[in-house]
């Protein structure tokens, strides 16, 4: 792949998804986009670039963007945030929302659904401690194919073995004839999946008491991270909590957030 072709594709991907690709990641473009080129009976990336410029096909641009978006996910990924959710975050929020007994949660960039379903399982496990509470959860991603998979709640044997304790697998999943597993309706019904690009406006989603936006900002440049942070602040209720990935740093140019003590990766809006 020529440098000019890499720059063209990298620029297009950054504009559409926020993905910030360094030149040493050109192999990712080669490996993920070659199947698309071959499907169009094109020889390689050079012909694919020419084809994009010629047709400007929105459906093709969507397919390319989805192919390049990292969809790495697993149940109870980095277990600590979910322990903190049950032990610290939920009790704190419930104390502030006790009058309404209703909490809105957003799982942003949810990929194939393991994160929001893990949150739902945590809530279900503690529901006996929260009588009368209603939890409204929205999970979003920019890729329709992963949102569709997430909504089905069907996972392979390999996927359920990654991080999911066996007792929770038996309790909340039904086994299917092809050796895959499907979440029971009690868990699937707790999550509403929607298409949403974090680079665009998401005011239509409403306000949230808790936002999970984990392991996605690491793919953005500093300016994009800052813009997403500002828009996340607008979607949080004044008492709300934002949880990032354990390796992510919050870029907060206007100083809207303060880190929560004893909660790594958790932030709250300043009073």
What CA–CA distance (Å, rounded) separates 80 from 249? 17
The pLDDT, as a whole number, for residue 89 is 94
Give the start-to-end residue ranges of the domains of the chain.
Answer: 3-68, 80-269
Burial class (CB in 10 A: 0-12, 13-18, 19+), 244: buried
Structure tokens of 266? 């958790």
What's this model's pTM, rounded to 2 decimal places?
0.88
Inter-residue contact 217 to 245 (CB < 8 Å) = yes
Output the pLDDT for position 70: 66
Q: What is the pLDDT of residue 198?
A: 94
Segments in the chain below pLDDT 50:
none
The CA distance from 237 to 206, in Å, is: 10
Predicted pLDDT of residue 58: 85
CATH number of 3-68: 1.10.155.10
Secondary-structure class of domain 80-269 per CATH: alpha beta
**pLDDT number for residue 66:** 82
Return the pLDDT at 262.
Answer: 78
């Amino acid at each position: 792949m020529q440098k000019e072709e890499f720059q063209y594709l990298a620029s297009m991907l950054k504009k559409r998804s926020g993905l910030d690709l360094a030149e040493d990641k050109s192999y990712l473009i080669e490996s993920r986009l070659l199947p698309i080129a071959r499907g169009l009976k094109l020889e390689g990336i050079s012909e694919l670039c020419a084809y994009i410029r010629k047709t400007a096909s929105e459906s093709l641009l969507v397919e390319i963007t989805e192919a390049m978006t990292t969809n790495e996910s697993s149940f109870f990924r980095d277990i600590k945030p979910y322990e903190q959710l049950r032990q610290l975050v939920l009790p704190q929020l419930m104390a502030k929302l006790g009058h309404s007994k209703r909490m809105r949660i957003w799982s942003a960039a949810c990929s194939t659904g393991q994160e929001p379903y893990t949150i739902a399982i945590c809530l279900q496990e503690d529901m006996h401690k929260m009588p009368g509470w209603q939890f409204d959860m929205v999970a979003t991603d920019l890729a329709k194919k992963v949102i569709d998979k997430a909504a089905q709640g069907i996972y392979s044997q390999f996927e359920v073995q990654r991080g999911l304790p066996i007792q929770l697998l038996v309790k909340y999943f039904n086994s299917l004839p092809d050796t895959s597993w499907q979440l029971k309706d009690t868990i699937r019904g707790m999550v509403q999946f929607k298409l949403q690009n974090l680079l665009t406006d998401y005011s239509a989603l409403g306000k949230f008491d808790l936002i999970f936006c984990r392991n996605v900002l690491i793919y953005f440049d500093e300016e994009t991270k800052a813009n997403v942070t500002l828009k996340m602040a607008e979607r949080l209720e004044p008492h709300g909590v934002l949880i990032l990935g354990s390796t992510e740093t919050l870029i907060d140019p206007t100083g809207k957030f303060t880190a929560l003590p004893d909660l790594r990766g958790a932030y709250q809006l300043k009073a």
